[in-house]
Amino acid sequence: MPDSDKPRPTLRTIAELSGLAVPTVSRALNDAPDIGVATKEKVRAIASQIGYVPNRAGLRLRTGKTNVISLVLCSDHEVTDHTGQLVSSIADALRDTRYHLIVTPYFPGEDPMKPVRYILETGSADALILNRIEVEDPRVAYLLRRQFPFATYGRTKWRDQHPYFDFDNVAFGRIAAQELVRSGRRRIAMLTPPLTQNYAQDMLKGAREAIAKTEAHFEAIPGSSSDESGEDIKEHIRDFLLRRTDIDSIIAPSSTAAIFASVGAEGAGRVLGQDLDIFAKEAVPFLQHFRHAIKVVREDVQNAGSFLAKAAIRAIEAPNKAPSQDIISPKQF
């Protein structure tokens, strides 16, 4: 890295060290298709060695672009294995491209449109990645109207018009209900995400379809959601099970929800694997180290982040091509 009192490295610095012309260096750093792989690797290696950082203000003046992709996240989420995996995998997928990741938060009680409008009005990113997707998500409607590049982790009613990556939550709900019934459970409850979110509806749909073919009973837990704080989930699950002694299993949509549901169940005097089962999905395999009796499927968030990063780049660079879309199935046990 250069000393702080030395001149900042520029494209010309790289050109002099590499023996290449400045335009060639610029195109190599911007991953131009007409520049060979060996040249790109040479230029990037020199840039890394000398600590070259693009002047984004100058870039924006010259091109109208920032080479930034913003992941918009709500700050009321606790830092979980899911969130960490998503941020890490997006950043990793962008590492060898011209694009850089920034995380733009919004806060509890704020309009989720606020960061989206801010980014568009200030021109602070070239594309957005959104999660916690609603069926009729106003952010997606706004971005479609503005024809601004974006990708979503989840699907909307306009899914045919935009890039997305999604976990097959219908399959998750179905697998969870089927496995619980197969284990002898007959009174199954689900701790859902907020019902405005598409994946909550999908989880419920899958579980209901599976339960309809059996003698078992299924319901959503009233007055609670997996987006609450861990302490609130714990208290709600404890109180729910104290009232509903007939419930013998709970489906949870995340590792965090499963952990606090487990603690709440134990607070109600339940014993996991004996008079209560919990079935959950997780991004990193650790739930069964927390409580061996928890039943799990794997959600491949690493693959999700990588896909979303590439989908956002495609939306920027090839806006007239069909949007990148994919759905991945649960990895069971």
What does the pLDDT look like over 202-243, one tens digit per residue? 999 999 999 998 999 999 999 999 989 899 999 999 999 999
Is 239 in the same domain as 251? yes
130: domain range? 68-167+302-328
Is 30 in the same domain as 75? no
Question: Does residue 62 sit within a domain?
Answer: no
Is 150 in the same domain as 240? no
Question: Does residue 282 sit within a domain?
Answer: yes
Does residue 14 surpass a pLDDT of 80? yes
**Dist. CA 45–CA 53, nearest whole Å:** 13
- Tell me how many domains the chain contains: 3
Is 161 in the same domain as 193? no
pLDDT for the residue numbered 1 = 43
Is 162 in the same domain as 235? no
Is 278 in the same domain as 159? no
Does residue 159 surpass a pLDDT of 80? yes
Residue 252 pLDDT class (50, 70, 90 cuts): very high
Calculate what percentage of the chain has a pLDDT beyond 70.
92
Question: Does residue 2 sit within a domain?
Answer: no
Q: Both tokens of residue 146? A: 């503005």
Is 180 in the same domain as 284? yes
**Dist. CA 333–CA 182, nearest whole Å:** 15
Is 45 in the same domain as 83? no
Question: Does residue 216 sit within a domain?
Answer: yes
Is 209 in the same domain as 264? yes
Q: Do 233 and 191 touch, CB atoms closer than 8 A?
A: yes
Question: Does residue 333 sit within a domain?
Answer: no
How is 119-157 classified by DSSP, letter by letter? HHHHT--SEEEE-S-BTT-HHHHHHHHHT--EEEES--T
Residue 333 pLDDT class (50, 70, 90 cuts): very low
More confident call, 38 vs 30 = 38
**Dist. CA 227–CA 83, nearest whole Å:** 13
Is 130 in the same domain as 226? no
* CATH assignment at residue 271: 3.40.50.2300
Question: Does residue 4 sit within a domain?
Answer: no
Q: Which of 49-58, 124-133, 240-249 has the lowest mean pLDDT?
A: 49-58
Question: Does residue 58 sit within a domain?
Answer: no
Question: Does residue 120 sit within a domain?
Answer: yes
Calculate what percentage of the chain has a pLDDT beyond 90.
66
Is 177 in the same domain as 283? yes
pLDDT for the residue numbered 80 = 59
